[in-house]
C-alpha cells in the first residue's frame, strides 16, 4: 500500500496526487451506520474506485489511523475516556474534511440517555456529539443514514459539488435535536407543508401525521435529528434557488 499523503487537502474537488484518501473511525454506537455504509453493494465498488480507503476496521487490517483527505466519524466518544477524546482529536488533526456520519456522532441520539436512570455508581458516563469537542465540516444525521448518503457525500467531495455539500455543512439542529425542534421551528412558524417527510425519516416511528401535521410520540423519540434534517422547510438554499429562478 502506498505511503499516506503528507497533508490532507480538506477541500472538496481538490485532489492530491492519486486518489483522495478515506478513513472511517468508530466510537460508541450500534454499528448500524457502518453497516449502512457497506450496504451500498455494487456502489461500494464505485466508492473504492473514487477513494483509497486507508482505515476502516470492517474492510481492512490497518491498525494505525493515517492522514486522510476525508474522514467519517461514526458514534459518540465517551467524555470520561481520555483515550476516546484523544482519538477523536487525532482524527481531526489527520483529517482534511471531517464528516459526522450518523445520528450518534451528530446529535448523540440514544447515547443522550446514558446520563441518569442507571444504578448507583461512582460516576456516570456521557457521550456528547462530536461537534462539542472538535470542528466538524459536514453532518449526515440519521440512525442510520441511508446507504446512498455515503456514496453521495464521497462523490460530491471528489467532484467538488459544493452545492450538494452546503446543506450538510451548515446543518445545525437546535435544542435537543428531537421532534420538539421540528414543532418549534417548523410547525409553529407556519412552515410545515404536510409532506410527511419527517414521519418517513423517523427510524423509530415516533412521528404520525395527524391532519397534515406531525404528532410526536415522545417515548419513542431517540433525538437523532433525522426528522429535522429531512424536512424540506428546515433549510432554504437561497443562492441555488435564485440561480434556478434565473434559468426559468
Question: Residue ranges of the domains in the chain?
Answer: 21-170, 179-247
Between 24 and 146, where is the model more confident? 24
Give the pairing type, strands 207-210 and 138-140: unpaired
Residue 213 above 90 pLDDT?
Answer: yes
SS3 72: strand
Bond before 144 cis per omega within 30 degrees: yes
For the residues 211-223, what does the mean pLDDT come to? Answer: 90
pLDDT value of residue 6: 40
For the residues 76-91, what does the mean pLDDT come to? Answer: 91
Cα distance between residue 66 and residue 4, in whole Å:
7
95-125 per-residue burial string, b: 16 or more CB within 10 A, e: under 16? bbbbbbbbbbbbbbbbbbebeeeeeeeeeee
Residue range 179-247 forms a domain whose CATH class is alpha beta
Q: What is the pLDDT confidence band of residue 71, given thresholds at 50, 70 and 90?
A: very high
For the residues 41-52, what does the mean pLDDT come to? Answer: 91
pLDDT value of residue 23: 95
50-54, 58-62, 130-134: least confident range: 58-62
Cα distance between residue 187 and residue 234, in whole Å:
10
Cα distance between residue 125 and residue 9, in whole Å:
35
Q: Which fold has domain 21-170?
A: Rossmann fold (3.40.50)
pLDDT value of residue 2: 36
Q: How far, in whole angstroms, is CA 248 from its chain's centroid?
A: 34
pLDDT digits (tens, 9 = 90+) for 230-245: 888 876 555 555 676 7
Q: What is the pLDDT confidence band of residue 167, given thresholds at 50, 70 and 90?
A: confident
Between 21 and 7, where is the model more confident? 21
Q: How far apart are the first and last CA of the chain?
A: 50
Give me the sheet containing 138-140, strands edge to edge: 52-55, 21-26, 68-74, 95-101, 138-140
pLDDT value of residue 85: 94
pLDDT value of residue 41: 85
* One fold for 21-170 and 179-247: no
pLDDT value of residue 4: 35
Cα distance between residue 68 and residue 54, in whole Å:
8
Q: What is the pLDDT confidence band of residue 5, given thresholds at 50, 70 and 90?
A: very low
Between 128 and 211, where is the model more confident? 211
Looking up cell 499523503, which residue turns up?
Answer: 5
Amino acid at each position: 500500500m502506498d505511503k499516506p499523503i503528507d497533508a490532507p487537502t480538506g477541500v472538496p474537488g481538490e485532489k492530491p496526487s492519486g486518489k483522495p484518501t478515506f478513513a472511517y473511525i468508530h466510537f460508541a454506537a450500534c454499528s448500524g451506520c457502518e453497516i449502512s455504509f457497506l450496504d451500498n453493494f455494487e456502489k461500494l465498488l464505485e466508492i473504492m474506485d473514487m477513494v483509497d480507503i486507508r482505515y476502516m476496521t470492517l474492510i481492512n487490517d490497518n491498525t494505525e489511523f493515517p492522514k486522510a483527505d476525508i474522514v467519517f466519524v461514526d458514534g459518540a466518544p465517551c467524555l470520561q475516556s481520555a483515550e476516546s477524546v484523544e482519538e477523536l482529536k487525532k482524527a481531526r488533526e489527520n483529517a482534511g474534511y471531517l464528516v459526522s456520519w450518523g445520528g450518534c456522532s451528530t446529535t448523540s441520539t440514544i447515547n443522550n440517555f446514558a446520563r441518569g436512570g442507571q444504578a448507583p455508581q461512582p460516576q456516570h458516563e456521557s457521550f456528547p456529539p462530536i461537534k462539542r469537542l472538535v470542528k466538524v465540516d459536514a453532518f449526515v444525521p440519521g440512525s442510520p443514514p441511508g446507504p446512498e448518503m455515503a456514496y453521495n457525500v464521497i462523490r460530491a467531495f471528489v467532484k467538488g459539488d459544493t452545492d450538494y455539500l452546503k446543506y450538510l455543512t451548515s446543518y445545525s439542529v437546535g435544542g435537543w435535536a428531537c421532534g420538539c425542534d421540528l414543532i418549534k421551528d417548523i410547525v409553529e412558524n407556519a412552515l410545515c407543508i404536510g409532506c410527511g417527510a419527517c414521519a418517513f425519516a423517523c427510524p423509530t416511528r415516533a412521528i404520525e401525521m395527524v391532519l397534515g401535521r406531525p404528532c410526536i410520540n415522545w417515548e419513542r423519540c431517540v433525538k437523532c435529528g433525522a426528522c429535522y434534517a429531512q424536512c424540506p422547510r428546515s433549510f432554504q438554499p437561497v443562492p441555488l434557488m435564485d440561480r434556478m429562478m434565473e434559468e426559468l
